[in-house]
Structure 1
Amino acid sequence: MTDYKFDIDGKKFSSKEINAKKDFDSFYKGVQAKGKAFYQKGWFWASTGLATIVLGTLLIANIGDLNTTLNEQSKTDPVAPDNLTEKPFINPPFDDLRVESDVFQVDANKGGIFKSRHGSILRIPAFAFFNKKGKTITNQTVDLKFTEYKDVADQIISGIPMTYDSAGIKYMFSSAGMVEVRGYIGDSAVNLNPEKPIEVEMKSNYSITEYNFYCLDEKNKKWEYLGKDSVSKPEPKKLTQEEINAKIPIIKKEDIVIPKDQIDAELQKAPEYQKRKRKRIQIQAQIDELSLAIPSPPRKADENTQKFSLDIIEKENPELSPYKDVQFQLAPGETINPIHANTNWNKVDLKKLEGEQLMVTFSKTNSAEEVKYKVIPVLEGLAYEKAHEEYLNMQSKLQNHKKALKEVEKKIKFFAKQIRSQKIDEGLVKAKLERLERIATLEKAQFTNKKIKAEVIRFFQVENFGVYNCDRMKKMQKKEPEFLTTIHFKKDVNEALIIDVFPELNGIFSHQAIINEAYEGFENSKRTIGLVNNQIGILQQIDNGQMVFKVMGKPRSKSDLAKWLEL
């Protein structure tokens, strides 16, 4: 056993530096270059006997110390695993979410033509399938699984790597369309006969020819360049009137809405409108005054019902003067007591009851004595005729004022209608001009987009089952690197899978973010998301080494993912 232990505190290397030093081939060549091994030297064999004796003695003397040292080391040294778990090359990030596929039942003897849910066509020749032994499959049905990855959401869900290494530089794939083709009989995979490839007519929204054609080499974990696909040239197509109307509807007069405050503002500027408005206010005041002045219609006395009148001295009782010529006809059920009629009363009070009835109370100034009668005011003879005529005249005057008010309001409404109609006509002309401008912009955009984005057919052949992609490489512009101290994903984590999303290029760029290491983001990324344990987070900020995500959760469908990415 050693008496001392030396603690060597040397320079600490990063994981990148350690990996850079792991060039064992160079090390081995360096050792070989120094000459023969010591056991190949002549002196080694000449002194073998002596070496054996000495070595045996040393082994016997130190065997105890060696066992003790090994036992102590076994207690303290960690045991490295035989191998580290490696992630699959195609690694979907969500356990139970996949891009929807078409499965076609193919008669191996006949092949066939099949159309996918997105409109792509597959032409499969007869006897196109091999079993695992390389023999042609006959008299069986093959399940052909065909999956199309149309956009960035599909790419994320697929877990298929969308980068390409060339001369040590990693590029992002800008995809015009990617498909996956697999064949099965039951649960067993089958192979394609390379001499009878499947012809694919893939529908794509990208018409330019700058895309290359690649196949994913899953064994060697890289994309294999296959050349170019063929693209059907889109025929120049002008938008039909129906298509234009569907995108930009025809403007009708009833579609124009003029706000009331805008019409009111125009009316305030019109002198004629102001004049009629003042006239309406004047007439309305006269109507209100007449309505208050008009009495109830006079009632003619009933000759067969008891009545009495008041002997009024107007100077002493001016408030009773309106009742000077009025007869008070007893209400049903009332009877005059003759004694009351012959009594001298010096105080009379009139109180309005329901309908036409009044309550007349007779009393004396220095006495508690009083009598009451329910009566109805009536008129007789000339008094009735005069009151009735006056009532009719006032009613006629009131009706004339109401008629005049109606005429003024009619003219005001007509004037407002004219203003509104004028404004609608002006708005209609303006809306039609704006529509023509929008149509011109739409047609220009349609013409411009045909060069880059248009629905076309991309033709290629599939000689082996796997993943095929029509892509062009894009070198990404990196931001200044930042040293990460924290990755906050609801709680702090050590690392996260980062995906920069570029919908306009139809591409994604995946890379890792690890704490205590430098992180490089990319310019022009519409969204940057992080994935930790099937959960998606939207990157909010990187500030002073702190990477912060807003965690959205686990997407249940593609629409969830598209919503979070704002596609």
Structure 2
Amino acid sequence: MKKNKININRPPISRQEIDSHKDFNKILYKHSQMKKPLYKRPRFLSSIIVVATIILVIMLNKEEEVQSPYINPPIAEFDIAYDDYAVDAAEGGYFTHHGGSIINFPPNSFVDENGNPVIGKVDIKYREFHEPVDIFLAGIPMAYDSAGTQYHFETAGMMDIRGFQNGKPVFFAEGKNAEVALASFNPGPEFNLYELDTVNRNWAFRGKDDILEDLAEPGLAPEVSEINESETLSLLDRLVPETGAESELSGLSSPKAKEIALREVKKEIVILEKIKPIAPKKADLERHSMNIHVDQKDFPEIAVYKDVVFEIGAENKNFNPENASIVWHDVSLAEVQPGVKYKVTFSKGETSVSYIVYPVFKGKSYDVAKKEFEAKYAEHGKQLGLKKAEEKRLQDELALAKKKSEEEAFHQEKLHKAYENRLRLDSAAFAKEQEARNKKQEKIYQLVAEQRARENERLRKEHEARLKLQEVRLEQENRELDNELDRGAFSQNTIRRVFTINNFGVWNCDAPQNLPSGAILAASFSKPGNQKLQLSQVCLVDDSRKAMYTYYPQVYSNFKFNPEVRNVIWASTNDGKLVIYKPEDFAKIPAGATSHDFEMEVIDPKKVNAAELKKRLMI
């Protein structure tokens, strides 16, 4: 339905306008000319009908103008899922996301909708975003309006965090802030911190974050240089590396050194199990085979064997033996299953054929290869056995080192208590002797004694906190080691952006950008078959900087993009489908074009799963 523009904010009527209609004589003349009351005239009934029609149109248009949610996933079933964590409301605590981010809540952080303190377990739902495709599927807007100028965000990391108890939302208590160390793959200092304001439908500037670079080894939580005097350690305390002068647990025999050595051995075991020798396969003389020179750098698992040939697999229904007589210009080999199955491709000009092949051995070559395999397999088993024995030794040594560390901590605590008792006795005796002479001096010595006691207590708490932190770090490292091969959660290029939040919601480390430059054209959109698409908005993504630019129909005639980078367009249609314009299609747009019809590829979400959908949308 066409929307009518109804002016409901008309300026107040001026005094001049009112005076211009104060012609009472004219009103009396008109009254004298009336033959029938107004409500009895035919025109009165028709006027009532017109007015009623206008009111109905206004009401329908108001229903149409109801705004959609500010966070609006294009396809609800493919929205990005949350991870679940739990925090004790009274004690506070923190959790570590599998991507490396850490969120820490102080004690008594939460209240309910009526402002009452929350007691018991609080369920935390958390997700974070580093790729534009995830932001697009979550329906999170990336446009930012500042002083009437619209910018578009380039993200260095975004998080969405919610709190619930018994299914009802909880809120931050006044004056309480959670500390965040958000994993980020962009170390640039140009990014600011923003909070998504869903009421005012805009991003709110919240200042800058602190950039904290991680250690060279992925997944290794740094030591602590200073302990905050509060009972809970801050995130910065957990993450800042410890100096050698202050470390009480340094040395090759410390639990820390044992943990590092154990982790390295575990990694070596993972690598050894991954490069396990593969048994050679004997050739089937009834099948076709071919000789291909293999570069040891590219395919070490088969290049170690001599006289290997490649057998044409039975699944190659299109195999043509006559292709062997063609002089091909190029041949390439690609892994399908390392050491077991490969794909060979022959090409000549625009003609190419591909076959699935298997490395095999003929005659005596198979016997030689089998002997080599048996020797290598035995050597591999020997090396793996030695590493596992070393792992067991380090585990035992680590347990012993931790036990000694705990005993030392207990011993130190006893010494501290004995020292405090002696100080109290000495102070009391000294005060008694001095009481008659100088009460002022007695007060000074009491203050000194109290200060010493506080310092000893601080040292004891510091020592206990370090022990607790080491246990937390070991638990985190074991968890990351379990997921390291599957997720690749934390690369050596990862940093953390540290900041505080005082609300649940979406928080974003972003750099506002203007629209890209390089090419400007009038854009229209269609799907195959020259069927025009009416898109309410489209998202242009610049892969070189992970920036998202949102275009609305009123600016399609001034569509800008940078042809020197890889671009992609995403959008959703009214019938619940996704459309995409890929980087290779952008490359076909003629230089200097002033208009272009973007023929979008249509993706039906009902015919793909989440993984397939993301794979097709990725640049």
- What TM-score, normalized to structure 1? 0.52
Deviation digits for residues 23-55 of structure 1, max 9, x if unmatched?
Answer: 876x616x53x636239x9x66xx58x846844
Indicate which of 156, 180, 188 corresponds to 1:200: 180
Task: State the distance in 2 between where 1:36 and 1:76 align.
Answer: 29
Aligned to 1:561: 613
CA distance in structure 1 between the partners assigned to 2:112 and 2:556 by the alignment = 48
Q: Letter of the 1:192 partner, please give it.
A: F
The within-5 A match list for 1:430-449 is: none
Matched, 1:124 2:105: yes
Matches for 1:479-490 after TM superposition, within 5 Å: 479-482=519-522, 484=524, 487-488=526-527
Q: What are the equivalent positions in structure 2 for 1:315-354 lying under 5 Å apart?
A: none
Out of 503, 508, 522, the residue aligned to residue 548 of structure 2 is 508
Give the counterpart letter for 1:472 in structure 2. A
Relative distance call for 1:558 and 1:210 in structure 2 (3 A) is farther
| Residue 539 of structure 2 is aligned to residue 499 of structure 1 | yes
Secondary structure of the 1:537 match is strand
Pair 1:60-2:30 in alignment? no
Partner of 1:518: 557
Cα distance, 1:122–1:156 mapped onto 2, change above 3 Å: same
Distance 1:474 1:255 in 2: 53
The equivalent of 2:496 in structure 1 is: 457
Say if 2:453 is the partner of 1:473: no
The one-letter amino acid of 1:112's match is G
Distance in 2, Cα, partners of 1:75 & 1:177: 53
1:228 matched to 2:208? The reply is yes
Q: How does 1:198-347 map to 2 (within 5 A)?
A: 198-235=178-215, 254-255=303-304
Q: Which runs of 5+ in 1 are unaligned?
A: 1-13, 261-451
User: Does the C-alpha gap of structure 1 residues 453 and 561 become closer, same or farther in structure 2, counting only changes over 3 Å?
Assistant: farther
Q: Output aligned runs, 1:68-147, within 5 Å.
A: 68-70=45-47, 73=50, 79-80=57-58, 81=60, 83=62, 84-138=65-119, 140-147=120-127
Q: Which amino acid aligns with 1:147?
A: R
Distance 2:98 2:151 in 1: 31
Check if 1:28 corresponds to 2:11: yes
Question: 2: distance between equivalents of 1:57 and 1:545?
Answer: 65
Distance verdict in 2 for CA 1:121–1:173, change over 3 Å: same
Read off the aligned partner of 1:169 and give its amino acid letter.
Answer: T
SS in 1 for 2:206: strand
Instruction: Verify the 8 A CA contact 1:95 1:534 in the aligned structure 2.
Output: no
Give the 3 Å change call, closer, same or farther, for CA 509–193 of structure 1 in structure 2.
same
| Residues 114 and 121, structure 1, Cα contact 8 Å, conserved in 2 | yes
d(CA) in 2 for partners of 1:257, 1:52:
118
Counterpart CA distance in 2 for 1:456 and 1:492 is: 45
CA gap of 1:257–1:530, structure 2 versus 1, over 3 A, is farther
Match of 1:206, SS?
coil
Q: Deviations over 1:101-128 (max 9, x none)?
A: 2222222222222112222112112211
Q: 2:144 aligns with which of 127, 152, 164?
A: 164
1:225-255 per-residue CA deviation (whole Å, 9 max, x = no partner) reads 11111111345689x9989999988979955
1:521-536 aligned at under 5 Å gives the runs 521-523=560-562, 524-532=565-573, 533-536=575-578
Structure 1 vs Structure 2: percent identity of aligned residues?
Answer: 22
Distance 2:498 2:216 in 1: 20
Deviation at 1:67, TM superposition (A): 2.7
In 1, Cα distance between the equivalents of 2:302 and 2:502? 61
- Indicate the SS of the match to 2:613: helix
Q: Write the distance in 1 (CA, Å) between the matches of 2:307 and 2:522.
A: 56
Q: After TM superposition, give the deviation of residue 558 of structure 1 in Å.
A: 4.5
Name the aligned partner's letter for residue 79 of structure 1. Answer: V
Deviation readout 1:281-320 (Å, 9 max, x if unpaired): xxxxxxxxxxxxxxxxxxxxxxxxxxxxxxxxxxxxxxxx
Provide closer, same or farther for how the CA distance between residues 560 and 508 of structure 1 changes in structure 2, counting only shifts above 3 A: farther
Q: Is the CA contact 1:172–1:474 (under 8 Å) kept in the aligned structure 2?
A: yes
The 1-side partners of 2:301 and 2:596 are apart by: 58
CA distance in 1, matches of 2:28, 2:165: 67
* C-alpha distance after superposition, 1:491-514 (max 9, x if no partner): 433335311122332232222347
- Match of 2:75, SS state, is coil
Which residue number corresponds to residue 552 of structure 1? 603
- Report if the CA contact (8 A) 2:155-2:508 is conserved: yes
Assess, with a 3 A threshold, how the Cα gap between structure 1 residues 24 and 256 changes in structure 2: closer, same or farther: farther
* Cα distance, 1:194 vs structure 2: 3.6
Are the aligned partners of 1:215 and 1:223 in contact in 2 as well (CA < 8 Å)? Answer: yes
What is the deviation of 1:154? 1.1
2:372 aligned residue: none
Task: Check the 8 A contact 1:114/1:123 in 2, yes or no.
Answer: yes
Q: Structure 2: which amino acid aligns with 1:457? A: R
How does the TM-score come out when normalised to structure 2?
A: 0.48
Number of the residue aligned with 1:178: 158
- What is the CA-CA distance between 1:518 and the residue it aligns to? 2.4
> How many angstroms apart in 2 are the aligned matches of 1:76 and 1:101?
48
For 1:28, give the aligned amino acid.
P
Once the two structures are TM-superposed, the CA of residue 178 in structure 1 deviates from its matched residue by 0.3
Partner SS state of residue 195, structure 1:
coil
| Matched AA of 1:60 | K
Give the distance between the partners of 1:51 and 1:526, measured in 2 at CA: 69
Contact 1:99 1:149 in 2 (8 A): no
Residues 121-178 of structure 1 show CA distances to partners (whole Å, capped at 9, x for unaligned) of 121122111111112112x322111111121121111111112123443222111110
Change in Cα spacing, 1:252 to 1:466, as seen in structure 2 (3 Å) is closer
Contact 1:212 1:225 (C-alpha < 8 Å) held by counterparts: yes
- What's the CA shift for 1:222? 0.7
Q: 1:504 to 1:545 in 2, by over 3 A?
A: closer
- Conserved in 1, the CA contact under 8 Å of 2:523 and 2:598? no
In structure 2, distance between residues paired with 1:59 and 1:530: 64
Q: Report how many residues are paired.
A: 348
Matched residues in 2 for 1:230 and 1:135: separation?
33
* Cα separation, partners in 2 of 1:489 and 1:105, compared to 1, 3 Å: farther
1:191 alignment partner, one of 155, 171, 186: 171
Could you say what secondary structure the match of 1:518 adopts? Answer: helix
**Residues 177 and 38 from structure 1, CA distance in 2 versus in 1: closer, same or farther, beyond 3 angstroms?**
same
Aligned counterparts of 1:56 and 1:145: Cα–Cα separation in 2: 76
| C-alpha separation in 1, matches of 2:556 and 2:568 | 22
Structure 2 residues without counterparts, runs of 5 or longer: 219-263, 276-296, 310-490
Q: 1:86: how far off? A: 1.5
State the distance in 2 between where 1:459 and 1:178 align: 12
**Partners of 1:177 and 1:513 in 2: CA distance:** 29
RMSD over aligned Cα atoms: 4.3
**Contact conserved, 2:535 with 2:571, CA < 8 A, in 1?**
no
Structure 1 residues 471 and 256 mapped into 2: Cα distance closer, same or farther (>3 Å)? Answer: farther
Structure 2: how far apart are the matches of 1:501 and 1:473? Answer: 14
Cα deviation code 1:398-453 (max 9, x no counterpart): xxxxxxxxxxxxxxxxxxxxxxxxxxxxxxxxxxxxxxxxxxxxxxxxxxxxxx99
Larger Rg computed on CA atoms: 1
Change (3 A) 1:234 1:244: farther
Q: Is the 8 A contact 2:196 2:507 kept in 1?
A: yes
